[in-house]
Amino acid sequence: MIYQRSSALFAEAQQYIPGGVNSPVRAFKAVGGDPIFVKEAKGAYLFDEDGNRLIDYIASWGPLILGHAYPPVVDAIVNSAKKGTSYGIPTALETKIAKLAVSMVPNIDKIRFVNSGTEACMSAVRLARGFTGKERIIKFAGCYHGHSDAFLIQAGSGAVTFGTPNSPGVTKGTAKDTLLARYNDLENVEALFRSNEGEIAAIIIEPVPGNMGCILPREGFLEGLRSLCDAHDALLIFDEVMTGFRLAKGGAQELLDIDADIVTFGKVIGGGLPVGAFAARNEIMSHLAPEGPVYQAGTLSGNPLAMNAGFTMLKALNDAPEVFDSLENKTAYLHEGIANVLEKNGVVHRINRLGSMVSVHFTNTPVVDFETAAKGNNDTFKRYFHGMLSEGVYLPPSAFESYFLNDAISYEDLDFTIDALRKVVKML
């Protein structure tokens, strides 16, 4: 495929936008080469500025469960825009979608809409601190909760040391209140609680991480976190920006049968528009302004475009829950097809999958956390990514990202993808 137009647009963009992109992963730094520029998308496909059609396996990083430009959502956005794009004043629609979301997700009574997953996670942590009266939080290496200062932390010198900033601009004072743990390592988390007795407000975790590939929680791990939080009067925050309304109607809480204290959501609830939310039971949400002392606000929060699109998307999922089985079956079919091709050609690999999330790792080590994910052969991944791209398949441009299938992808598209790998595997 030819990408001359995309390369020219990237060169121009770098003159006016830092790095030529508005989110770093788009720059192809992890895989090399110039990023493609998309002109439009429909259903399962991206159409770039050079006229290439690509099967899309990122779905705008998760929210487009029913495919690009899903007609009912597009109609909802258009009809809403005709009435105004933002009011900064309450609308009945906000209550309508809140009522629907609360009915779909277990263990929540109230929900507050914000403008992004980052904002949702930032607000959830503030609420947890305000509710518990404690300041420190535990997060996990490889779990991404947005770019708020408290989350941009790397490991210190030992398992129970304080974190240190991994981005300029994040202060050491902020970093000292974030403790870093290893995903799937319950003993490590127990040690952090022992070393910081009475000081930990919350654990925040992606119950099924998607930012070090798709990582599955070991049996008993999430249950263990729930027990630790109960024992130490800390809150358990599930970051379901990726998994919420994707793994099941009620997200990972429903699928894995674990109750979190606070849950955050992302762009699924806006039908792909910029939106986020956090939710909890009444006793926690009552601490939120204007009802309580924990402040959070946003002029565009609950804006009518996102709320109308989100209600339409959630209603479609609620009315047709069989979509989750459809997505899981398609993802399993893709998993089996990729595994067969790689195995027959002797390519060392591991594939992780849950629901409609899947990732391929070029390593012979089970991938259970960030450390094991980092052992993958990145040179092989680069060849894999670019080979598939040249065949018309768009995969996440990083070995540390999950694939997200959308239900517009057909079995013919899946067969096309598997056939493309048969051509590419000779390069790996």
Please answer whether residues 214 and 61 qualify as being in contact, where contact means their C-beta atoms are separated by less than 8 angstroms.
no
> For 170, how many CA atoms within 13 A lie in the half-sphere containing its CB?
18
Q: Which residues contact 365 (CB under 8 A, 6 or more apart)?
A: 350, 372, 375
Cα 30 to Cα 286: distance, rounded to the nearest angstrom: 43
Please answer whether residues 402 and 359 qualify as being in contact, where contact means their C-beta atoms are separated by less than 8 angstroms.
yes
Cα 120 to Cα 288: distance, rounded to the nearest angstrom: 13
Residue 313's SS3 state is helix
CB-CB neighbours of 312 under 10 Å: 22
| Token output for 129 | 């601190």
Please answer whether residues 286 and 72 qualify as being in contact, where contact means their C-beta atoms are separated by less than 8 angstroms.
no
Residue 8's SS3 state is helix
Whether the ω angle into residue 290 lies within 30 degrees of 0, i.e. cis, is yes
| Token output for 93 | 């629609």
Q: Where are the alpha helices (DSSP H) in 320-410?
A: 322-344, 370-373, 378-390
Please answer whether residues 213 and 399 qualify as being in contact, where contact means their C-beta atoms are separated by less than 8 angstroms.
yes
Cα 223 to Cα 339: distance, rounded to the nearest angstrom: 31
For the chain, how many residues are written? Answer: 428
Residues designated as active site: 144, 239, 267
Q: What are residue 325's phi and psi, to 5 degrees?
A: -70, -40
Cα 324 to Cα 255: distance, rounded to the nearest angstrom: 11
Q: Give the amino acid at 389.
A: L
